[in-house]
Chains A and B, each alone.
Chain A
Amino acid sequence: MDFSLSDDVLAYRSKIRSIVAETVTPDVIERMHTTGTFDAPELNRALGTQGFLERATPGLGVGDPIELWVLFNELEKAGAPYDGLAVALMIAGVVNLLGTDEQKERILPSIISGEALVCMGYSEADYGSDVASIKTRAVKDGDEWTINGSKMWTTMAHEARWLILLTRTDVDLPKHKGLTMFILPMDTPGITVDPVHTLGTERTNATYYDNVRVGDEAVLGGVNNGWRTMVSVLAFERGVMGGSNAAIPLLRHFHDWAQEVGIFEQPITRERMARAAIDMQVASLLTQRSAWIAASGGSPGLEGSMTKVFAAEAYQRISRWTQETAGPLGLLQFHEAGAAGEGFVEYDARHSPVVTIYGGTTEINRNNIAERHLGLPKSR
């Protein structure tokens, strides 16, 4: 195995690092934690203007998936707000893969320039892991589709230009077969957005669809083919777009604080710091493997499940022991005097519970691994 990054990739990485250094200022990180909107338009535009988003979009640009991994790994390690961008590029990849020429021309430029975000409407209040059972209906009437229903966890809906929406178009077919994915502008009449505030500060939304009318130009990946479209998105989501080194910024904050207050010498802390570094290396290598599989023309869906289970639990382990080690100072929030790791210790302890839930729960991913990697029988 060769773990060297090519000169091209190293040059790409150093440009990304300088853009991050210029645009992801402490004010931008502060804004992310006060507004709960995990997006930095100035970062997106800087990346877009220099062509880096086009390069990184799966299947579209000249860059290989190693660059996509490098981009999100750098953003994640910097503690940058990148959730909005990750979803946007994921969807850009799917539009490029499954969209019509007209959709590509109409939608892609706005995303790869860093101007437009996309939000994802899959889950509903009553259907999360069992997403194939969703009830939001799209009914064809002449040339138009009419959509009625509601979605949960539509993060970035309050900022996004585009919405990708999973609907039921045929109630008579088996549940996976009667689904259709749409992509439509968020300003289409009939859509309303209600905020949902979370433990981890991040704002998400509930969205409602009341006689939303669109034409065939909004169908993404074919009528009644929505499940396949969905699986394509998830392959990107669990693959290489962040979510593997979430503890790196926390470890920096914790380390510097522990050195400053003089508790770093404790053997248990040093042992845990060593184990944390090992977990972060492994998570990074697993993600690199997904990128390499994608770069070699494969689809790293199963490997993505494995990466996500490991990386998410590693982040949770680390956020738990850093807070325990800090004791009462690990309870103090941003800007409070004496807060461990400038408040990041407390923040990560609140943020980390979500990572084993979103993008496919750990249980769904373990089902995938058991069935598809170990060859065990379907258990549900």
Chain B
Amino acid sequence: MTVDLGLTSDQEAIAELFDGFFSNESPTTIARAAEPFGFDADLWSKVIELGAPGMGSAAEVGGGEASLSDLVVVAEAVGRSIAPIPLIEHLAALAVLDDADLVAGSAIATLALRPADADGLWRLVPAGVVADVVVGVDGDDLVVVRSAPPMSGPRNHASAPLADRSARTGDRTVLGPASAFQPVIDRWKVLTSAALVGIAEAAQKLGVDYVMEREQFGVPVGSFQAVQHGLADLPVLIDGGRLLTHKAAWALGRDESGILDWRSNDITDGTALAAMAFVFTSDGAAVATDRSLHYHGGYGFAEEYDIQLYYRRARGWSLVLGDPTDECLALSDRLYGPVEN
């Protein structure tokens, strides 16, 4: 074992398969048509044919045994295409669920990112509009609830299928203590980070293509240094985010517990790295979509151009977890030790 920062040949094949699939089956017209709730049932049935919903599950329950690092590659492709399917939530929830219909994808699972409130309500659950099964924390317990999806929810910035779901009404099972949720949320953060890297990369490409095509003062807008330098900040946010996301996936996939030695910048703790990747890629996707939109000029603000689709999802896909400052404070506690509040 030694440092190898390339994708495996299997992962390269996965990237090619999913990028090809999404560019054929989910051009941005599909994301537009799926607004405002962000779900395309037809597209979901097509990813079932690819075996994607059960990709990360164990072979004995019919899954594909893919590693978290492999799923990161899939999640990046989801981000690049902003495909309107809840694959990331589903793959994260399946860290602790193995019902046959979920592995097959004929039922959809998701996770509640924050504990249920006093009334037993999980607020603004991602994929809550369409999920048949929700896993999340209620009080001291990690519970899974199977109930009929509402098939509607509040209109929102990202046109994401967010909806409130009950932690107590429906077919409810206690899976374990609330602490058993950590692997699920870590997995969701890593996969969402990958999707945000995909969003940032797609936004960069839209921006570069536009500034090469658009001419002002008789030359492409992209020949101006002020524009070039604004775009030149993006590749490092994309590559840095990708490396950090893969490091988090690698760390979470190891049997041994990780190191948290911030004094030597030696960090292999999966939970800390997942939080780091999430904060960094959330910021990176926000910056990349903002710059790209800006360099489109007025057209970037027009609904007709695709950059606005990415701009809204860059924010929506990460802010469902909460204020990034809270994520930073939790990370600070993990790295430097908790403080009394």
Contact = CB atoms under 8 A, between A and B. Distances in A.
Nearest to B6: A1
A291 B3 contact: yes
B280 A376 contact: no
Nearest to A292: B5
A289 interface: yes
Contacts of B1: 2, 4, 6
Given A267-B325, A275-B328, A379 B228 contact: yes
A6 B2 contact: yes
A2 B229 contact: no
A303 B236 CA distance: 9
Interface residues of B, number: 54
Contact of B235 (A267, A285, A292, A306): A306
Contacts of B236: 286, 306-307, 309-310, 369
A277 interface: yes
A5 interface: yes
A264 B336 contact: yes
Interface in A281-311: 281-282, 284-286, 288-289, 291-292, 295-296, 303, 306-307, 309-310
Given A275-B279, A284-B265, A374-B235, A3 B328 contact: no
A44 B25 CA distance: 60
Interface string A82-120: 000000000000000000000000000000000000000
Interface in A236-261: 245, 248, 251-252, 255
B247 A285 contact: yes
Contact of B335 (A274, A285, A310): A274
A373 interface: yes
B265 A370 contact: no
A271 B325 contact: yes
B74 to A, nearest CB: 15
Interface stretch (B47-55, B155-163, B237-245): B237-245
A323 B340 CA distance: 24
B329 interface: yes
A48 to B, nearest CB: 24
Nearest to B212: A376
Nearest to B207: A374
Interface in B1-54: 1-7
A371 B1 CA distance: 36
B220 A4 contact: no
Interface string B238-265: 0111011011001100000000001111
13 contacts: A1-B243, A1-B246, A77-B265, A245-B265, A264-B339, A271-B325, A274-B279, A275-B328, A280-B265, A295-B3, A306-B235, A309-B236, A369-B236
Given A1-B5, A376-B212, A379-B228, 4 more contacts: A2-B250, A3-B5, A6-B1, A278-B279
Interface of A: 1-6, 9, 66, 73, 77, 245, 248, 251-252, 255, 264-265, 267, 270-271, 273-275, 277-278, 280-282, 284-286, 288-289, 291-292, 295-296, 303, 306-307, 309-310, 363, 366-367, 369-371, 373-377, 379-380
- Which 10 pairs from chain A and chain B are nearest by CB? A370-B228, A270-B332, A6-B2, A274-B328, A366-B232, A369-B232, A282-B240, A285-B243, A4-B1, A274-B331
Interface of B: 1-7, 69, 204, 208, 211-212, 220, 222-225, 228-229, 231-233, 235-236, 239-241, 243-244, 246-247, 250-251, 262-265, 267-268, 273, 276, 279-280, 325, 328-329, 331-333, 335-336, 339-341
